[in-house]
Amino acid sequence: MSKKNTFGGFVFSTDPNFRTEPEEDATEEIPNANQALRIWLERGKGGKESTVVKGFIGPDDRLSELARMLKNKCAAGGNAKDGIIIIQGDHREKVLKLLLELGYKNVKKAGG
């Protein structure tokens, strides 16, 4: 069933704690040692390779900070959103080494 209100914006509830706006999901701060990150190599259009780090759990500012550091160390471009970091080029070994140095203990290369 749809959660949309079909009565033109009118909401009635007998619950005193009822809220019409959705609550924001607070993203937990998980220590680096408890993160389970996987490093993939993906090929895009024209056979271009990119290193993809999946499985990051945490706030978006920490994700973008980590992505910025990895991109700088690899001297490559990239992007970060939704718990995924994409770095242009094949930098799996370097990214693995950098993440282990930062204290991420459960980091593995994945895929074929």
CATH number at residue 69: 3.30.780.10
59-100 pLDDT tens trace: 999 999 999 999 999 999 999 999 999 999 999 999 999 999
- What's the pLDDT at 3? 59
Res. 16 pLDDT band, cuts 50 70 90: confident
Q: Is residue 71 part of a domain?
A: yes
Asked if residue 9 is part of any domain, the answer here is no
- Give residue-wise pLDDT tens across range 29-55: 788 888 899 999 999 889 899 999 999
State the total domains in the chain. 1
Tell me the one-letter amino acid at 52.
V
Residue with structure tokens 């282990």?
100
Helix locations, 38-91, DSSP H: 60-74
Q: Kindly state whether residue 20 falls inside one of the protein's structural domains.
A: no
**Residue 18 pLDDT exceeds 80:** no
Domain span at residue 54 reads 32-109
User: pLDDT class for 4, splitting at 50, 70, 90?
Assistant: low
Q: Is the pLDDT of residue 20 over 70?
A: no
Q: Which long-range contacts (CB under 8 A, 24 or more apart) does 13-22 make?
A: none
Residues 6+ apart with CB under 8 A from 57: 27, 28, 30, 35, 83
Predicted model pTM? 0.73
Identify whether 18 is part of a domain: no
15 is a domain residue: no
